[in-house]
C-alpha cells in the first residue's frame, strides 16, 4: 500500500485536515473507537491540532486520509483543562470524568518529567485497517517525540486496537478506566462502545 506520512503543520494544514476528516466521503473519525466513546467533534479536533505535531497518513493514489494520530504537548504546569467550550454535553462530561480519573496517575512525577507528548487519538479508516497502519502511525509519533527531545509520552487508548498497538510498542499500562464506571443520564458508557470495554492510560519513557 503506497502512502505518505505528513506532520500536520505546513504541507498539510490543520484546516485542510479537519475538512478532510469530517467529509462524509472520507470519514476517518467515525471509524475510530474514540468516536463511539465520545463523539469526537470538530472543536475538539481543532484543539488537538493546535500544537502542530499531529500526524496524518495519506494515499499516494487518491490523496485519501488513511489514518491520523492527534498529538498535543502537555506540561506539568498546565492549568486544569477546561471543557466548557464544548457544546456536546455528553462529550464534555466524559472528558471531565476521564481527566478526573487520570489525576490518579500523577504522570509527570511518575516519569520524572515536566513535559510530555500526549497522543489524543489514533484512527485508521476502515478501508485501510488490518494492514499495520496504526502501528506505523504510533511508531512515527514515538520517533517524533524523540526528535523533539521529549522524555515521555502519555496515551489514553480508548479501543482494544490502540491498546494492543501500545502494548506491542512497550508502553506501560498505568490506569484502567472501565466504561461501566461512567454513567450519563442513567446510561452506562459501555452500552455504546461494543467490544471496547475500557480506556487505558499508558506511558512510555523515551
pLDDT digits (tens, 9 = 90+) for 21-53: 655 444 444 444 444 444 455 666 777 777 888
Decide if pLDDT at 84 tops 90.
no
pTM value > 0.75: yes
What's the pLDDT at 199? 84
What's the pLDDT at 20? 55
Domain CATH number, residue 12:
3.40.630.30
- Other Cβ atoms within 10 Å of 200 Cβ, number: 20
Of 184, 117, 186, give the one whose Cα is nearest residue 155: 117
What is the rounded CA–CA span in Å between residue 190 and residue 193? 5
In the chain, % of residues over pLDDT 90: 27
Which residue reads 498546565 in cell numbers? 78
What is the rounded CA–CA span in Å between residue 99 and residue 103? 7
Total domains in the chain come to 1
Mean residue pLDDT across the chain: 78
What's the pLDDT at 108? 95
Lowest mean pLDDT among 21-30, 98-107, 132-141, 143-152: 21-30
What is the rounded CA–CA span in Å between residue 15 and residue 28? 15
Decide if pLDDT at 65 tops 90.
no
What is the rounded CA–CA span in Å between residue 203 and residue 206? 10
Alpha helices for 1-88 (secondary structure H): 14-21, 33-38, 42-49
What is the rounded CA–CA span in Å between residue 152 and residue 201? 13
Indicate the pLDDT class of residue 142, thresholds 50, 70 and 90.
very high
Determine the 3-state secondary structure of 101 from DSSP: helix
Q: Is 168 exposed, middle or buried (0-12, 13-18, 19+ CB in 10 A)?
A: exposed
What's the pLDDT at 13? 60
Decide if pLDDT at 124 tops 50.
yes
Domain that includes residue 52, residue range: 3-205
Give the mean pLDDT of 146-158: 93
More confident of the two residues 96 and 1: 96
Amino acid at each position: 500500500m503506497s502512502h505518505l506520512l505528513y506532520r500536520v503543520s505546513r504541507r498539510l494544514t490543520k484546516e485542510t485536515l479537519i475538512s478532510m476528516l469530517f467529509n462524509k466521503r472520507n470519514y476517518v473519525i467515525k471509524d475510530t473507537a474514540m468516536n463511539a466513546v465520545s463523539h469526537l467533534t470538530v472543536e475538539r479536533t481543532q484543539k488537538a491540532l493546535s500544537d502542530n505535531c499531529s500526524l496524518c497518513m495519506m494515499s499516494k493514489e487518491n490523496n485519501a486520509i488513511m489514518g491520523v494520530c492527534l498529538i498535543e504537548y502537555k506540561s506539568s504546569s498546565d492549568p486544569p483543562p477546561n471543557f466548557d467550550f464544548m457544546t456536546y454535553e455528553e462529550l464534555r462530561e466524559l472528558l471531565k470524568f476521564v481527566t478526573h480519573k487520570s489525576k490518579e496517575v500523577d504522570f509527570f512525577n511518575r516519569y520524572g518529567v515536566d513535559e510530555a507528548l500526549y497522543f489524543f487519538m489514533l484512527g485508521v479508516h476502515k478501508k485501510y485497517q488490518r494492514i499495520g497502519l496504526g502501528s506505523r502511525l504510533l511508531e512515527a509519533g514515538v520517533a517524533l517525540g524523540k526528535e523533539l527531545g521529549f522524555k515521555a509520552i502519555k496515551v489514553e487508548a480508548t479501543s482494544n486496537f490502540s491498546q494492543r498497538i501500545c502494548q506491542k510498542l512497550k508502553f506501560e499500562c498505568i490506569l484502567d478506566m472501565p466504561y461501566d464506571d461512567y454513567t450519563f443520564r442513567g446510561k452506562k458508557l459501555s452500552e455504546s462502545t461494543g467490544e471496547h470495554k475500557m480506556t487505558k492510560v499508558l506511558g512510555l519513557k523515551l
